[in-house]
Structure 1
Amino acid sequence: MAELLYRLGRLAARRAWAVIAVWGVILVLTGVGFLVGFKGLTTNFDIPGTASGAVAEKLQEQLPDFAGASGTVVFETTDGSAFNDDQRAQIGSLVAGAGELPDVADVIDPFEAEQQRADREQDVVDGRVQIDAGRAQLDAGQAGLDAGRAQLAAAQTQLEQAWLQPDQPLEQLAAYEQQQAQLDAGVVELDAQQTTLDDSRSQLDQDAEELELGAVLLDLSAGIRVVSEDGAAALVNVSFSEPRMELPAESQQAVMDHFESEPVDGARVSFSSDIAQTVPQLIGMGEIVGVGFAAIILLVMLGSVLAAALPIVTALVGVAIASLGALSFSGVIQMASVTPFLGVMLGLAVGIDYSLFVINRHRRQLLEGAEVRESIGLANGTAGNAVVFAGTTVIVALLALNVTGVPFLGLMGTVGAVAVAVAVMISISLTPAILGLLGERVLGRRARTRIGQAHHEDTQARPMPTWRAIATVLAAVAVLLILAIPSLSMRVGLPDGSVEPVESASYQAFTATEENFGAGANGPLLVTATLPEGLDRPGVLGAQVGVARTLAGQDGVVGVAPIAVSADNSLAAFQVVPTGGPNSESTEQLVRDIRSMPPHNSGVTLGVAGQAAINIDISENLADVLPTYLAVVVGLSLLIMILVFRSILVPLIATGGFILSLFATYGATVAVFQWGWFAGPLGIATGPILSFLPVILVGVLFGLAMDYQLFLASGMREAYVRGASARLAVARGFRAGRSVVTAAGLIMVSVFGGFVFSESTMIRSIGFGLAFGVLIDAFVVRMLLMPALMHLLGRAAWWLPRRLDRILPNVDVEGTALARRHHG
């Protein structure tokens, strides 16, 4: 590999313009692909096979009107007074026009909804009056019938007594028969009237029962409102025809544009995150500032504007190619909004670092007197070889995200891996080409005067005192463990409006809804109930009441409202408003309680959907796959490091240090984003940790940690192989690699740190986690803990079983053999 990269470096330096042209063509092609294939990104996340997903599928089959995405438009009066008639009319007009928007299935006028509720309440009152009047009328009718029967009975008795009189003429007997026929007819008539009255009473009883059941449902839903009690706020519920994962961002934007098109006098409007959460800008001011800091670090280290600009230029080219290429497939593959951000973060960070490694090696060789093209080839064969192995470790860790079984995570990992792969290819081809054009100008003027005078500094290195090594290990481990303490209380979830920027529409809608309607109105649950077969209307109503009472009886429920029953009466849907918000512990517990209920009366089974339930499902699934993913990543990378370092203990030290830094990073992230430490100055609202952040941090940080491990430990191994004692080799390797690793670490912290100021809360937490993780791992684990442990282990650090030593191929990561062949 080293020899191949050496030749590639020399070829690129000799054919610089051809190499630049090839990369230029690739950039243009990816740009064209983007223009043709980009179809937008989704702001939602989903995992197949979840409990809420099964409920959504059932709704799609039997109640499709309730299977689509939904959101709320929040109106508030600016002075806190109740909406007046003109304002109600303006909002009603906007609601009426919204039904024609793309992918909008239904829009509910809150004032009409509250009026309908008031009408139903009045209908119950009127119905009870009518029922009472009907019963009184039936009772009067029954009394009349009873009196008629008494009269007929008396007449029958008189007639029977007359029949008993002796010696009556035939004419009189004929009259008696006629009277008897009249009495029998009267009895028949009374029986018919009794049947009619009984039927009326039965119908009245049924009506009364349905009325009372409806009244029960109305009472159970009393806590659910769409107009606040003071009349100063209103919620417009918008239902979409498309599921949330398939809802185009254009449809969400159309809703916002429509309701903002005609401002309501004396009122303000905001939108829930289901509508307002749009795709954030890929590059913002924070990211630009981060790259600016990286440029300053490069300038300080390299001492030349040209040399400092080169890694940034090549990194930007790589980011552009990887990002545009990935986005070109958004029309074929559903892509979450955070997917390209991971590629941009990694592309910038590793792109700058990897080019820096090659440039730094080339500059050092130039100072030693090497010819330009020969130096470029050697730098590519040595530092470039290390870059390839380091990049491979990162790529393996990122591609392993596909083993989680979570589609959007696997896609994020794949896009990130592509960005890293492009960065590697650019660093070993485009970077040597530009270096060939720059010649000795890659050195500053003052540095060029010292060409041929440089000497190796590793001879000045001295092993650290053993007491210092012991103290360093104890102090580093103590710091990492203390930082990890907050991770024990980590709660994960997906961000809601409460953690969005204060000035955003999502935050304003969330707070307005919570203040006027309660926290649970921001995350209502959608509960389905499978009903027994053969139920008629009264049976369905009774089943609804039974389910609603059961749900209302759970802890943490504000109200329950039936919203639909399927055409075949087999599935009923309910809206359940919890007391807590979508990310509260009480809401999580409520979802679990409902799902754990045994089948209700007559075999009724319950299911839970809704944004809060979906968030819980995603978070739990990701938490379940984290150990598996960690085992896969660590296992694969251990094999790579054993191959590279030809040691058992060095990879174990590297892995153990990573686990410590990982949990320290988890702890710091919890302290800032969940507990709120330093959140104010950073403009961060607290809440649960982004559910997929722990998994992302495992993949990315492990790969980057192994990068720095490789660049430091490979120098130690090189010194050890050349005959230095084990402890002296640690000192020499550390001294040789510390400056470039320090610069590379600071560059990554700067680039990742720039994303902390993104407009998206999700991007902020990812940027913070990666920046802090690199800071801790590079400067505490790799530059303090690892060298101290290597010093304490001495020769044992490089122990490898003989049988394994014979099997493993000899991988010369640093290209030591190449350097000896070509550079003495």
Structure 2
Amino acid sequence: MAWPAEGVTLPRLARFCIRHRRLVVLAWVGLLVAVIGIGAAKPAVYANDIKIPGSQAQAAADILSKAMPAQSGDRSQIVFAVKTGQVTDPKVAARVEAMLGDVAKLPHVATVVSPYSKTGRGQISKDGRVAFAVLDFDQLGQKLPKAGIQKVIDTAKAAGGNGLQVELGGQAIALTERQPPAATEAIGLLAAIIILLLTFGSVVAMGLPVVTALFGLGVGISLLGLLSHLLDTADFAPQLAGMIGLGVGIDYSLFIVSRFRDAYANNGGDHHGAIVESMNTAGRSVLFAGMTVVIAILGMVLLGISFLYGVAIATSMVVLVTMLAALTLTPALLGFNVFGGRIGRGRVKRRGAEREGQMWARWADVVVRHRWICAIGGTAVLVALTIPAFGMRQMHNDAGNDGPDQTTRKAYDLLATGFGPGFNGPMQIVVTLPKDGKEKALAQVDSGLKAVPGIAQVTVMPISKDRSTGVLVAYPQSSPQSEQTTALVESLRKDVTPKLAQQTGTQILVGGFTPATVDLANVFSSKLPMFIIVVVLLSALLLMLVFRSILVPVKAAIMNLLSIGAALGVVTLVFQEGWGASLFGIEPGPIEPFLPVMMFAIIFGLSMDYEVFIVSRIREEWTISNDPRAAVRQGLAATGRVVTAAATIMVCVFGSFMFGGDKIIMMFGVGLATAVFLDAFLIRVILLPAIMDLAANATWWLPKWLDRLLPNVGIEGRSVETEKEVVTP
């Protein structure tokens, strides 16, 4: 047949995908096979390489890498303890010394400081039951081969037994101890299948969004692995990207399939015409929502923290690929009579959807009748859930939060028992020495640090070969993640070390892993407000362009901020305060510093999905009737079922990651599931209709002078009349 001339891009894309449906499907199959094959030949390489330009910890690390390369790698501990006797007993000492000698000969081991040496004389507990050796690798943990670290672990633990316990701690050891994530995606996928079956009442209609999402996710995750060779990408990026990609991939295809079924029922069974109409309406919403998610997540790059670059680009890439799959593979599959024809005819025969639409219309009437109660009550719930977020402590979780069976947790407990919790988070005090009196200056710094309240012990390490740099290891009295340790780091930098530097003619920097996490938390806290302002303003501008309204973007910005605040409040209650934490086998602790920024970007983008899908349908109805109340009623009746189904799928997908065992991913899972639940079931179906009814026609008010200045970017689309065509399978 001859398609009518049309200048709009998405109808053209829909027609291309229908005409060349076999080619489109084969292209996606070929692309998936190709990227999986390339990925198998070139496995992904992930690295948690955190650099904080301008921070003291980074400056200290840079000095060490030049002057003392052996001190610039990851520092770990080999901890050993005896139940009877003491670690200084000759037989025990001989076993330990032999083991430390073997470890010192292993690849990537720079230095080993024995507790029996002069330098390590402070590494034996007062009761003589616990001791530790300091192990320095020649590189940071994320750059070390896991096989090399595992060899160190195996060699050290081989000396255990017969009353001697040997455990290892440190960041490099923790990377090796981390277990592969459980396949929690399967739980979310199973839940999605059940929800889609209940929503559509058809296996074919259920299968199409799932197949489309899996194709997009498979290609996206495979490309992510290839990206890891070009850009440092955190090891939790595949899980995070997979979680979001699976959720949005199913949702985007679901929106298009649902609109296709409605169009098919309303246009008398014009199969291909219904596809074009669904792409010209729901497809536009998917395109806008997907690009908003991508832009919001990519906005993290503007923070200037290299650790986020790989995560942001990887996650946005997976979202982009799943969106493209929804916009190309979905119409292509619908073009086959075996899929699209059955789905469309099933909608015509099935009246449950009409009854459910009437139910949502009645719900809209209830909200409108009690609009003030709904608006005030809904806002109060969000504010109440947001309050705990103001008590959030941002800090990296130490090994005290690891599982009780992990060697890092056992080493942590032994050190805390024998020496105090602060020995699990030593600080590196890097001293640039004067030309004359180097030993005297270093001794003065040593004495000054030992007099500082909160420091349990200070160990002086050998001066660098060029005699320009000295290092002291300071052990706090408090644990690495405690508020007292954070306060100690800030006090050392602000008050103690500047005075010591002036007295000794040296330059003193406080570095090491624990101070670096303090720096990271400070950087994120300082940049978060500006990041929020930029993302909110850009999103508001986009919504203003699309909906020609002042109220819609303002309302969306406020509601989205409240949903993000509520999600962070729930994360704080669960992971920091311990509400229900025991159900998931996690230890309460501070919140990872990068979590609020990343959750804000992701949630703000995802919130636009439902905002755009519902509001675009309401505006579509309003342009027809010019009756704001009827538009809200009809818009909610048409979208309520699919939005709540899509949200339930996403909540299940995100919630399933609570069972993965990785605490960072669990935090994301709880936060994102909470945000989507509140966004769909509180904001979009209670607050949104209540506020839009209160505003009435003012919802769509835009000053005439501003309307003339802004380009016309509509997404509600319009029905595209097409001639009927004989459909070939």
Contact 2:617 2:635 in 1 (8 A): yes
Contact 1:499 1:761 in 2 (8 A): no
- Residue 28 (structure 1) shift: 2.4
1:604-615 to structure 2, matched below 5 A, reads 604-615=506-517
1:327 maps to 2:332: no
Q: State which drifts further: 408-417 or 227-236.
A: 227-236
**What does residue 313 of structure 1 align with?**
211
Contact 1:493 1:583 in 2 (8 A): yes
1:322-361 to structure 2, matched below 5 A, reads 322-361=220-259
1:582-601 to structure 2, matched below 5 A, reads 582-597=480-495, 598=498, 599-601=501-503
**What does residue 547 of structure 1 align with?**
445
Contact 1:2 1:812 in 2 (8 A): no
1:443 maps to 2:340: no
1:240 maps to 2:245: no
Contact 2:57 2:512 in 1 (8 A): yes
- Residue 242 (structure 1) shift: 1.2
Contact 2:544 2:553 in 1 (8 A): yes
1:642 maps to 2:541: no
**What does residue 485 of structure 1 align with?**
387
**What does residue 114 of structure 2 align with?**
109
Q: State which drifts further: 272-281 or 630-639.
A: 272-281
Contact 1:367 1:452 in 2 (8 A): no
**What does residue 419 of structure 1 align with?**
318
- How far apart are the structure 2 equivalents of 1:2 and 1:234? 76
Larger Rg: 1
1:103–1:57 CA distance, 2 compared to 1 (3 A): same
- How far apart are the structure 1 equivalents of 2:722 and 2:341? 27
- Residue 434 (structure 1) shift: 2.3
- How far apart are the structure 1 equivalents of 2:376 and 2:353? 41
1:711–1:283 CA distance, 2 compared to 1 (3 A): farther
Match of 2:668 among 742, 747, 766: 766
Give CA-to-partner distance per residue, 1:481-529, whole Å, 9 cap, x none: 1111111211101222122233333323222322222110100000022
Contact 1:335 1:408 in 2 (8 A): yes
1:378–1:452 CA distance, 2 compared to 1 (3 A): farther
Contact 2:573 2:579 in 1 (8 A): yes
1:287 maps to 2:185: yes
Gaps of 5+ in 2: 1-5, 725-729
1:455–1:813 CA distance, 2 compared to 1 (3 A): farther
Contact 2:292 2:605 in 1 (8 A): yes
Q: SS of 1:493's equivalent?
A: coil
Q: SS of 2:184's equivalent?
A: helix
1:386 maps to 2:285: yes
Q: SS of 1:573's equivalent?
A: strand
**What does residue 688 of structure 2 align with?**
786
Contact 2:578 2:587 in 1 (8 A): yes
Match of 1:697 among 594, 599, 603: 599
The one-letter amino acid of 1:754's match is: S
- Residue 558 (structure 1) shift: 0.3
- Residue 268 (structure 1) shift: 4.1
- How far apart are the structure 2 equivalents of 1:376 and 1:490? 48
Contact 1:390 1:710 in 2 (8 A): yes
Q: State which drifts further: 261-270 or 576-585.
A: 261-270
1:384-783 to structure 2, matched below 5 A, reads 384-437=283-336, 438-440=338-340, 442-443=342-343, 449-450=349-350, 457=357, 463-464=365-366, 468-535=370-437, 540-597=438-495, 598=498, 599-783=501-685
**What does residue 273 of structure 2 align with?**
374
- How far apart are the structure 1 equivalents of 2:680 and 2:330? 25
1:122-133 to structure 2, matched below 5 A, reads none
Give CA-to-partner distance per residue, 1:769-790, whole Å, 9 cap, x none: 1111111222222222122111
Contact 1:14 1:373 in 2 (8 A): no
TM-score (norm 1): 0.81
1:820–1:39 CA distance, 2 compared to 1 (3 A): closer
Contact 2:110 2:138 in 1 (8 A): yes
- Residue 8 (structure 1) shift: 2.4
Q: State which drifts further: 36-45 or 430-439.
A: 36-45
- How far apart are the structure 2 equivalents of 1:2 and 1:347? 31
- How far apart are the structure 2 equivalents of 1:378 and 1:505? 59
- How far apart are the structure 2 equivalents of 1:585 and 1:460? 52
Q: SS of 2:462's equivalent?
A: strand
Q: SS of 2:621's equivalent?
A: helix
- Residue 455 (structure 1) shift: 9.9
- How far apart are the structure 1 equivalents of 2:261 and 2:144? 52
1:291–1:92 CA distance, 2 compared to 1 (3 A): farther
1:364 maps to 2:369: no
Contact 1:528 1:606 in 2 (8 A): yes
- Residue 248 (structure 1) shift: 3.7
- How far apart are the structure 2 equivalents of 1:281 and 1:428? 36
1:66 maps to 2:66: no
Contact 1:495 1:761 in 2 (8 A): no
- Residue 352 (structure 1) shift: 0.9
Q: SS of 1:328's equivalent?
A: helix
- How far apart are the structure 2 equivalents of 1:481 and 1:105? 53
Contact 1:69 1:247 in 2 (8 A): no
- How far apart are the structure 2 equivalents of 1:313 and 1:508? 45
Q: SS of 1:607's equivalent?
A: strand
- How far apart are the structure 2 equivalents of 1:566 and 1:306? 70
1:394–1:304 CA distance, 2 compared to 1 (3 A): same
- How far apart are the structure 1 equivalents of 2:105 and 2:137? 11
1:251 maps to 2:148: yes
The one-letter amino acid of 1:107's match is: V
Give CA-to-partner distance per residue, 1:681-725, whole Å, 9 cap, x none: 122211111100000011100011111111111111111111141
- How far apart are the structure 1 equivalents of 2:271 and 2:235? 44
1:747–1:321 CA distance, 2 compared to 1 (3 A): same
**What does residue 181 of structure 1 align with?**
none
Contact 1:500 1:761 in 2 (8 A): no
1:84-163 to structure 2, matched below 5 A, reads 85-110=90-115, 112-113=116-117
- Residue 576 (structure 1) shift: 0.3
The one-letter amino acid of 1:613's match is: P
**What does residue 203 of structure 1 align with?**
none
Contact 1:282 1:341 in 2 (8 A): no
The one-letter amino acid of 2:34's match is: L
Contact 1:270 1:508 in 2 (8 A): yes
Give CA-to-partner distance per residue, 1:281-336, whole Å, 9 cap, x none: 77524332122222211111111223223222222222221121121132332221
1:781–1:506 CA distance, 2 compared to 1 (3 A): farther
1:653–1:448 CA distance, 2 compared to 1 (3 A): closer
- How far apart are the structure 1 equivalents of 2:709 and 2:352? 42
1:250–1:50 CA distance, 2 compared to 1 (3 A): farther
- Residue 555 (structure 1) shift: 1.9
- How far apart are the structure 1 equivalents of 2:413 and 2:103? 24
1:791–1:822 CA distance, 2 compared to 1 (3 A): farther
1:815–1:466 CA distance, 2 compared to 1 (3 A): closer
